[in-house]
Amino acid sequence: MNSGLLFAAVALLIILIAVVAVLVLRRQSAAVVASPAVTADDRAPTITDAPEEDLSALPEIEIPDAAAGRLNRLRARLARSNSAIGQGLLGLLSSGEISESTWDQVEETLLLADLGVGPTQELIARLRIRVQVAGTTTPEQMKVMLREELLTLVDPTMDRAVAMHAQGRPAVILVVGVNGTGKTTTTGKLARLLIADGQTVVLGAADTFRASAADQLQTWGDRVGAAVVRGPEGGDPAAVAFDAVSIGTEAQADTVVIDTAGRLHTKTGLMDELGKVKRVIEKKSPVDEVLLVLDATTGQNGLAQARVFREVVEITGIALTKLDGTARGGIVVAVQRELGVPVKLVGLGEGPDDLAPFDPKEFVDALVGDS
């Protein structure tokens, strides 16, 4: 009798446990479908039976290349500068007796490479003295001298760090330059560099003249996980810049990078506007960096643009783009001399990670060739 009662109680307990277990399991699997994982790695396996719309709604975040050693990785892109400057000079100077006409050819090579008249004269004067002192020189000695003198001209003592850490607020970077030089592309690539460095980034689409400019920046931001602040087409660029800095501050972002417009045909208007953008941002936060984007293929024209921009905003760094498409790498030296401001970034292609922090030694090594 007693054993019958015990049997019934045990059976009841087993059924109860089974029901509870089924309920718990169902809740867990429902939760997995309802809240898809955020990291790219977990994503696919956890929501395989979710409807297709959910899958496409998830952002595809790319992991950018690390910032360190980028210029070294991209050095082959300098090949055209390389043969024009380094190899051209070494070819001339290593051919035994150096005559006056050889020095003339050296001068011509340097000027063609956009080094500028002043730096060209300096380089030749220094080399002539060193060659005289050394008497005869081997091609290897010549290469060492050339490397040292080019490095002096590029100036390894300049501080080339892009401002990206501020105390208790986001660092603010304003990107300026003429249309087509690569501002938007550089802003997008810079966001990737900063994110590769572990930062959170907010982008401001202050080129409000063309909707496509904001869309272009949005695409860059989406790919890498940077929020993009934009305004209405034709809206006030200063207001967008202000909003971007406000939102970046609120969100405790590490850096806010602001892309601007650059229509040169309305030069005065553009310059007034640029000054206003900076002043309006400064109501909210200091501007830590004004990056002037210059297209390396434009030579003297680029230098003229630099002078115009310098009149309106205090430029703190230069981003030299399209160095992959030119034999005129000497522009690095010329533009630094012209503005007294360091080249901080170089663009070496259209790919998302084709922007590198500028390193004088790596640059000169790439020009002269490995020792």
Ligand X SMILES: Nc1nc2c(ncn2[C@@H]2O[C@H](COP(=O)(O)OP(=O)(O)O)[C@@H](O)[C@H]2O)c(=O)[nH]1
- DSSP string across 306-364: HHHHHHHS---EEEEE-GGG-S-TTHHHHHHHHHS--EEEEE--SSTT-EEE--HHHHH
Q: Is 228 in the site for ligand X (CB under 6 A)?
A: no
Binding residue for ligand X, selected from 70, 143, 183, 284, defined by CB under 6 A? 183
Residue 160 burial (CB < 10 Å; 0-12/13-18/19+)? Answer: middle
Q: Is 213 in the site for Mg ion (CB under 5 A)?
A: yes
Choice from 114, 254, 324, 362 touching ligand X (CB under 6 A): 324
Q: Which of residues 164-183 bind Mg ion (CB under 5 A)?
A: 183
* C-alpha–C-alpha distance, residues 158 and 177, integer Å: 22
Smallest separation (angstroms) from Mg ion to the CB of 87: 35
**Which of 112-120, 209-217, 235-243, 319-327 is the region at the interface with Mg ion (rule: CB under 5 A)?**
209-217
If the CB atoms of residues 86 and 237 are measured against Mg ion, the closer one turns out to be 237
- If you ran DSSP here, which 8-state letter would residue 239 be given? H
Closest approach, Cβ 210 to Mg ion, in A, equals 8
Using CB under 6 A, pick the residue from 81, 109, 184, 336 that binds ligand X. Answer: 184
Q: Note whether 322 binds ligand X by CB under 6 A.
A: yes
Rank residues 169 and 263 by Cβ distance to ligand X and give the closer one.
263
Per rule CB under 5 A, is residue 184 in the interface with Mg ion? yes
Contact 346, 319 (CB under 8 A): yes
CA distance 250 to 209: 27
CA angle 300, 173, 280 (to 5 degrees): 105
Residue closest to 153 by CA, chosen among 121, 109, 128, 129 = 121
Residue of the chain from 64, 88, 221, 262 that contacts ligand X (CB under 6 A) = 262
Nearer to ligand X by C-beta: 190 or 303?
Answer: 190
**Span near Mg ion by CB under 5 A; candidates 33-41, 60-68, 208-216, 317-325:** 208-216
181 binds ligand X (CB under 6 A): yes
177 binds ligand X (CB under 6 A): yes
Which amino acid is it at 83?
Answer: S
Report what 185 binds from Mg ion, ligand X, none; CB cut-off 5-8 Å by kind.
Answer: ligand X
Q: Which two tokens stand for residue 155?
A: 């100036």
How far, in Å, CA of 249 to CA of 353, rounded?
A: 27
Q: Is 38 exposed, middle or buried (0-12, 13-18, 19+ CB in 10 A)?
A: exposed
Of the candidates 142, 123, 177, the one whose C-alpha atom is nearest the C-alpha of residue 290 is: 177
CB of 252 vs Mg ion, minimal distance in Å = 27
Cβ proximity to Mg ion: between 147 and 183 the closer is 183
Q: Which residues bind ligand X (CB under 6 A)?
A: 177, 179-185, 262, 321-322, 324-325, 347-350, 354
